[in-house]
């Protein structure tokens, strides 16, 4: 069983919980997810099965899209609604839409982030949330990220009684972005405490939310002997240039991890090599030797 499941992760479970459950449902151990989603976040979570687990890093590295909500006027320990309140002010009036739009726009591009203490980033072999739960503060590594889009969705809402404003947003960002931290940084630019009050991942690794399957869907489909929830490796990599191998190239070169000499392809991009139109490997061009060399072997893909 090889392919990628565009899973709809629901609120309450971790990404690892779904891997554990799917191993039981599919009766296979070779399963991995393509990017952790916090328990309070729902949305697209591509799950790799069988040979496609070799693509986890490649799929994880692609940009992702989210829709969420920022609450202005309150900040929490975890930067989301799960944490304890650490700062709170009562907004006398809402921020104008023009000011909100300006702030969103100012954050587009390259940014440096410091991961939140309540995250799975490791420092000296321990996860940051382990330090946080022990009441310890440690120096956190900075990471460079990129925002391709970050903008307001719909009309902001203002609760005059509580002095809080909620703002819906859409963001398209690079791998490693902490959207919780974006919410905090957004409030900081406005001079108020803030936290991420809602978040849904709407796109990841080329899969959109409307094309995902819930765990209950998958269980029902399997009972009907329907495995259409499993997207083939060939379809997942369909945008990559491809070369159909000759018998000689397959038997002498690729099966043994050998190099290929092909001049008709774009050397700036990876090359998917296929046998009988089934992907068997991904090759990368080496300009030093003017040869295509194996990058990811998928010999057992069927």
Spell out the domain ranges in the chain.
3-62+206-233, 64-203, 237-297
Superfamily of domain 3-62+206-233: Pseudouridine synthase (3.30.2350.10)
Which pLDDT belongs to residue 202?
97
Of the residues 17, 38, 84, 234, only one is catalytic, namely 38
Can you give the pLDDT of all 302 residues of the chain as single tens digits? 899 999 999 998 888 899 999 999 999 999 998 878 888 899 999 999 999 999 999 998 889 999 999 999 999 988 999 888 989 999 999 999 999 999 999 999 999 987 665 555 566 666 656 666 767 676 667 889 999 999 999 999 999 999 999 999 999 999 889 999 999 999 999 999 999 999 999 999 999 999 999 999 999 999 999 999 999 999 999 999 999 999 999 999 999 999 999 999 999 999 999 999 999 999 999 999 999 999 999 999 98
The answer to whether 198 touches 68, Cβ cutoff 8 Å, is yes
| Sole residue written with tokens 């002498």 | 252
Which pLDDT belongs to residue 122?
67
The two tokens of residue 113 are 């982030």
Entry pTM? 0.88
φ/ψ (deg, to 5) at 65: -125, 145
CA neighbor of 283 nearest in space, from 227, 245, 252:
245
What is the fold of 64-203?
Answer: Pseudouridine synthase (3.30.2350)
- One fold for 64-203 and 237-297: no
Going by C-beta distance under 8 Å and a sequence separation of 6 or more, which residues neighbour residue 117? 77, 128, 129, 131, 132, 137, 140
Which pLDDT belongs to residue 1?
87
Q: Catalytic: 38?
A: yes
Q: Does the domain spanning 237-297 belong to CATH 1.10.3470?
A: no
- The one-character DSSP state at 283 is E
Three-class DSSP category at 214: coil
Three-class DSSP category at 176: coil
CA pseudo-torsion sign 194, 199, 204, 207: negative
Distance, CA of 11 to CA of 17 (rounded, Å): 12
List, in sequence order, every residue forming a beta bridge with 208; answer none if it has no partner. 203
């Amino acid at each position: 069983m090889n392919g990628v499941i565009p899973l709809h992760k629901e609120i309450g479970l971790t990404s690892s919980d779904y891997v554990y459950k799917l191993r039981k449902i599919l009766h296979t151990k070779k399963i991995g997810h393509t990017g952790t989603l916090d328990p309070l976040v729902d949305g697209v979570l591509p799950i790799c099965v069988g040979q496609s687990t070799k693509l986890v890093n490649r799929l994880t590295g692609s940009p992702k899209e989210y829709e969420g909500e920022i609450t202005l006027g309150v900040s929490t320990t975890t930067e989301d609604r799960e944490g304890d309140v650490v700062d709170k002010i009562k907004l006398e009036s809402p921020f104008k839409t023009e000011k909100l739009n300006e702030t969103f726009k100012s954050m587009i591009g390259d940014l440096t982030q410091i991961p939140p203490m309540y995250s799975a980033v490791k420092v000296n072999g321990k996860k940051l949330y382990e330090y946080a739960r022990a009441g310890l503060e440690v120096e956190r590594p900075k990471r460079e990220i990129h925002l391709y889009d970050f903008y307001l969705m719909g009309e902001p809402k203002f609760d005059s009684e509580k002095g809080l404003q909620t703002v819906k947003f859409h963001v398209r960002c690079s791998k490693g972005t902490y959207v919780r931290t974006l919410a905090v940084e957004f409030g900081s630019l406005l001079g108020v405490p803030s936290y991420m009050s809602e978040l849904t991942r709407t796109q990841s690794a080329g899969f959109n939310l409307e094309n995902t399957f819930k765990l209950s869907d998958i269980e029902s489909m399997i009972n009907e002997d329907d495995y259409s929830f499993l997207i083939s490796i060939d379809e997942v990599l369909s945008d990559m240039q491809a070369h159909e191998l000759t018998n000689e190239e397959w038997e002498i070169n690729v099966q043994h991890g050998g190099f290929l000499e092909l001049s008709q392809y774009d050397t700036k991009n990876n090359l998917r090599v296929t046998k009988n139109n089934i992907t068997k490997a991904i090759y990368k061009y080496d300009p030093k030797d003017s040869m295509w060399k194996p990058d990811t072997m998928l010999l057992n893909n069927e």
